[in-house]
Structure 1
């Protein structure tokens, strides 16, 4: 395939020069313009179709009457019926119920509503590695270590047994 000759420039149909300049005058010479009814009706009869005399006189009125009759006979379905009103109102009621159930009426939680035990369980379950001092600083409460020991009432025997097992390093324990 040659890239230079992708389209053909010569189509094969050629019109003689000045063909369209004199076309109207040549057509008017060949077609006889006679307004006599007999000649026009003979050309119509020669085609094989016979139209009765004065057929098109009342034709337009007949068509308009038929169109008016068909307009009045058409059935119109009203969109505003009792069934449709009940249908749409039930849909609106369902949407209203769903929206009212999805909106919670509870107040937002504040930091004061959370108990200390909840905070401890959160830190334990989430594997947050904080020291007890850091947790106490986060809770913003004054924690007294002596009060916690007094509340639990640990026997001296249990404490001595725990210390004698050797779990603690010797560097940590200091005697005062």
Structure 2
């Protein structure tokens, strides 16, 4: 059974505690669903990371992770901290029971990603580039590396969107990962 993630349960996850997430603002909204937008920052790298959740009755219906594109890196070198928070965001929020194979391919694809100039020494045996066998996973990885601009996929319960966009207020390009829960 696929269930939405509650904000109160998310606060008890490793994602929330490991990255030392703190609420910096709550904005009440009437539309949609008498919701609230909760803005968060991690304990470190605050200038490079924005996280927000839109909730209604404690249920998350939209989750956004935004990272400074320069901080992530590119196809030559990928910041391991950017990979870590992105894969952890997906692990914490992707609903159990909803296409777990796709979830694991995307998470492992991001975690195993390396730039052409990165030096990685694996303790465990890792199969690299297997995620290329799924065109959606490959597109998402290309966006994370800054090669492509936008891709999204829609499951019955959840839509996943990744894109790179110029932020006028910050005067730089930012990567966005949006998870939106669809009405059942």
TM-score of the superposition, structure 1-length normalised? Answer: 0.16
TM-score of the superposition, structure 2-length normalised? Answer: 0.16
More strand per residue: 1 or 2? 2
Higher RCO structure (Cα 8 Å, ≥6 apart): 2
More helix per residue: 1 or 2? 1
* Structure label with greater radius of gyration: 1
